[in-house]
A = this chain, B = another copy of it.
């Protein structure tokens, strides 16, 4: 049936975040009418990626290897460990900041109401990592949300018990932002975190 496969494609495209029925239909027709090569390429890469990309055995980030390129790099500072919630955070920090330490990806945050506790986040893996003696500073880069803060707090305690220094990324007014459009909570954090000018 004609409707069958086109409809199936339209449905499957809606598994993509932010894609509703209308844009899914537009995408399906675009590929079928104008870009079959693009459609074939996307199909192949999707199957290959879903099959071959797993999690790094050390940092839990997405990788095709057992140990990812970041963890296995000798040029990285292995005494600095930056904890983030998602692989997207690793990419954002690595592309923007020149950070040269290692990462640890939680794949989420503590959220008791959703039944996500330390076990669901496999925090025993992180605990074992902290016990190895290699990490000297743990940078808490979870999101500035209630759950992210609670998760940072919990993990800082794990570090403290092992005598490891933990730091939290700074919160404040975004660069290039206009003060009047910054929300109150951020402004409060920006004022609390103020530093000597010119220091």
A interface list, Cβ under 8 A from B = 1-6, 8-9, 12-13, 15-18, 23, 25-33, 35-36, 38-50, 52-53, 56, 61-65, 68-69, 86-88, 91, 107
Contact = CB atoms under 8 A, between A and B. Distances in A.
B107 A49 contact: no
B38 A15 contact: yes
A91 to B, nearest CB: 7
Contacts of A50: 31-32, 36, 39-40, 43
Contact of A40 (B23, B45, B46): B46
Contacts of A86: 29, 33
A33 to B, nearest CB: 6
A12 B68 contact: no
A54 B122 CA distance: 49
Those 6 A-B pairs whose CB atoms lie nearest each other, nearest first: A43-B46, A15-B38, A2-B63, A43-B47, A12-B42, A12-B45
Contacts of A9: 45-46, 49
- Quick one: copies of this chain in the complex? 2
Given A23-B18, A32-B87, A2 B65 contact: yes
Nearest to A36: B50
Contact of A87 (B8, B29, B69): B29
A13 to B, nearest CB: 7
Given A2-B64, A15-B42, A17-B27, 9 more contacts: A2-B69, A5-B45, A16-B42, A17-B30, A29-B88, A32-B49, A33-B86, A43-B45, A43-B46
A186 B143 CA distance: 49
A30 B18 CA distance: 11
A87 B5 contact: no
Nearest to A91: B25
